[in-house]
């Protein structure tokens, strides 16, 4: 990991970056807002996906950690969709299976 990437992921730095990035969600692991990192998208259809971690945290996480982060984001999205009247087109179980498949493709 590059030095700048390490510095950005120090808890107090990522907290400050959240403050100066209102309206942006963030990586569930390191806390960096998406305006300061690249999200790792996990596709649950050919054209639709979601992200819970940045690409750096994806590469440095266990499958169990990633499944926990994607569960958090899924539950948040589900609560938001209920409030807006939108029906989600995938289940948590399907998303976690997609996370698992992608994990095994990217981690040796």
Distance of alpha carbon 49 from alpha carbon 81, whole angstroms: 15
Decide: 57 and 27 in contact? Cβ < 8 Å: yes
pTM to 2 decimal places: 0.85
User: Domain residues of the chain, as ranges?
Assistant: 3-106
Half-sphere CA count of 96, side-chain side, radius 13 A: 13
Cα–chain-centroid distance for residue 102? Answer: 13
* Tens-level pLDDT at each residue, the chain (108 residues): 778 778 788 888 888 888 888 888 999 999 999 999 999 999 999 999 999 999 999 999 999 999 999 999 999 998 887 767 777 889 999 999 999 999 999 997
State both tokens at 45. 């259809």
Distance of alpha carbon 90 from alpha carbon 29, whole angstroms: 23
């Amino acid at each position: 990991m590059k030095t700048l990437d390490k510095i950005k992921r120090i808890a107090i730095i990522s907290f400050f970056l959240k403050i100066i990035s209102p309206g942006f969600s963030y990586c569930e692991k390191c806390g960096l807002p998406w305006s300061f990192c690249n999200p790792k998208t996990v596709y649950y259809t050919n054209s639709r996906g979601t992200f819970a971690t940045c690409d750096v945290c994806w590469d440095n996480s266990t499958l169990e950690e990633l499944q926990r982060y994607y569960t958090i984001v899924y539950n948040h999205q589900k609560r938001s969709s209920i409030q807006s009247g939108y029906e989600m087109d995938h289940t948590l179980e399907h998303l976690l299976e997609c996370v698992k498949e992608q994990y095994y493709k990217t981690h040796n």
